[in-house]
Amino acid sequence: MRNETLRRIRYGLRNAEEFENLFFHDLMLADRVRMDVYARAIEKYIHPGMRVIDVGTGSGVLACLAAKRGAQVIAIEHGALIERAKELAKSNGITNIEFVRVHSKEYRTKDRVDVLLHEQLGMSLVDEDMVENLGDLRRRVLKPGGLILPGHFEMFVVPVELVPEHRMPYIHEQRMGGLNFSSFRPNGNISTRGSYDKRFVQTRDIGRMLSKPARLFALDLHHDDTSYIPGSVEADFKMEEGQLDGFALYFSCKFDDEIKFTSGPGHPRTHWECQLYRTDARGMCEGDRSRFSLELIEPTNANGWHWRYRAD
């Protein structure tokens, strides 16, 4: 219990520090893919008279869009940014939003709601405690048959070759000024990686995929809880010819079959970047095999995930 309490404290401090910085809201509001998809979903699924909770309202933009559809909205937010959300509603003449400064786990209501609206998607999908927070609210405050928007997610991994100018070799791979940096090569099994070997890349940094993406797991928040997040996952790939620079982790988010987006390569760019697990630069031939495995030791701390790969 003590470890769980400490985890929540660490997560809460990390979350508050990041999302009370308006720079991150600049990024999110400038993400036209994100905003267009959410606006379409709100227009399709939220109707006058509905009761809607906007979970982690942040800037208040989603709450305001839902309120403009005629819903009665409860916007909950545990951080001080809720004051900015109130100002947004007031300056736009929106009065049908109740703002409550509280963590979702502590929110109480006598009347169940029709919709849980949220955007708690981390760069690594589940690292903002989305599954636990929405699962808790679903059980306590959502009407039977009510909607979670968005509710369907998939996590993928794919081996990739980066655009040459966006490669970042390991120190031990460098050759410059006549110096050999091989003394920096790690001891032991170099294919066992930690957080040092992870970086985020934009989809434009990825030159091409070297295999078909593999789905690691799927979540439906209308039914699934944290027990559906696997502790470990594996994927096998049949490779195309090219240089393996790493394995890109990304996700898809689906409101329905028409309203959806993905953070992965080959799709319109979002502010969610791909999580790249770096490998030594390695030439691959057509038909070569590679295997990727990932341990999600603590789902909300993606920096603590451990991974391994093998290429034959």
Band of residue 99 on the pLDDT scale cut at 50, 70, 90: very high
For CATH 2.70.160.11, list the domain ranges present in the chain: 153-311
Who contacts 136 (Cβ-Cβ below 8 Å, separation ≥6)?
Answer: 104, 105
pLDDT above 70 for 192: no
Residue 295: predicted pLDDT: 94
* Number of residues that make up the chain: 312
Alpha-carbon Rg for the chain, nearest whole angstrom, is 21
2-119 maps to CATH 1.20.120.920:
no
Rounded distance between C-alpha atoms, residue 301 and residue 14, angstroms:
10
| Model confidence, pTM | 0.89
Q: What's the chain's average pLDDT?
A: 91
169 CB neighbour count, 10 Å cutoff: 13
Percent of the chain with pLDDT over 90: 78
pLDDT above 90 for 23: no
Q: Is 129 exposed, middle or buried (0-12, 13-18, 19+ CB in 10 A)?
A: buried
Q: Which of the 8 DSSP states describes residue 235?
A: E
pLDDT digits (tens, 9 = 90+) for 204-236: 999 999 999 999 999 999 999 999 999 999 999
pLDDT above 60 for 300: yes
Rounded distance between C-alpha atoms, residue 215 and residue 230, angstroms:
12
DSSP 112-177: -EEEEEE---BTTBSTT-HHHHHHHHHHHHEEEEEEEES-EEEEEEEEEEE-GGG----GGG-EET
Band of residue 1 on the pLDDT scale cut at 50, 70, 90: very low
Band of residue 2 on the pLDDT scale cut at 50, 70, 90: very low
pLDDT above 80 for 188: no
For CATH 3.40.50.150, list the domain ranges present in the chain: 2-119
CA-nearest of 252, 196, 259, 246 to 219 is 252
pLDDT above 60 for 196: no
Q: What's the mean pLDDT in 140-166?
A: 97
Rounded distance between C-alpha atoms, residue 209 and residue 267, angstroms:
12
What is the CATH number that goes with domain 153-311? 2.70.160.11
Strands 274-284 and 198-201, how do they pair?
Answer: antiparallel
pLDDT above 90 for 7: no
Residue 149: predicted pLDDT: 98
